Amino acid sequence: MDAKQLLLTRQSTPRLVAPAPNDEQLTFLLDAAARVPDHGALTPWEFIIAVDDGLAKLADIFVAAAKAQGADDAMITKAGNMPYRAPMVITVVAKTQQHDKVPAIEQHIAAGCATMAMQQAAFAIGLGAVWRSGDFAFNTDVNNALGLAADDQIVGFLYVGTPAVVAPIKPLKSGQQFARYL
């Protein structure tokens, strides 16, 4: 797939099944993430990979967080099932550092770019991925269970796997409708 085709046809793939990316594919995704714009070369991110038993651990973290919030039984069940929507979940964390020239927002954006790069890389090699966030991305109990610092911020959960179905490519959107000149 050439770069133009990737950029104009990339889409989220919410229905994912095994197999998860193999070691070579995962290395490609992580290497793509490491190439994103990164002002000051701070690498302000961490990728927490859940696969196999890690999915169960992530499910336990989500269930505990849901219970701590006083969620009802239906939400607790949903929380426990969330990690199993794909054979691999990569939690992407913005790990900001104090820097005179690189504000925290730029570091968060860099972590977001890393997430997008991994999703594009997955799509480019025939895998599927969907970037999700939701309440657990902003949940202190989840952060603590993952061993994150107080200033760390989950920017998303990247669900990665093999597409369950071949989805038709969505129609091309014109970016011109969102542009204006000064």
Q: Peptide bond preceding 163: is omega within 30 degrees of 0, i.e. cis?
A: no
Q: What is the pLDDT of residue 134?
A: 95
Please, which contacts does 103-107 make with residues 24 or more away whose CB atoms are closer than 8 Å?
104/151, 106/39, 107/42, 107/44
Q: What is the pTM of this model?
A: 0.94
pLDDT in tens, 61-81: 999 999 999 999 999 999 999
Cβ atoms of 129 and 123 closer than 8 Å:
yes
- Reading the chain (182 residues) residue by residue, the pLDDT tens digits are 788 888 888 888 989 999 999 999 999 999 999 999 988 888 999 999 999 999 999 999 999 999 999 999 999 999 999 999 999 999 999 999 989 999 999 999 999 999 999 999 999 999 999 999 999 999 999 999 999 999 999 999 999 999 998 877 888 888 999 999 99
Length of the chain in residues, anyone? Answer: 182
Cβ atoms within 10 Å of 121's Cβ, excluding its own: 23
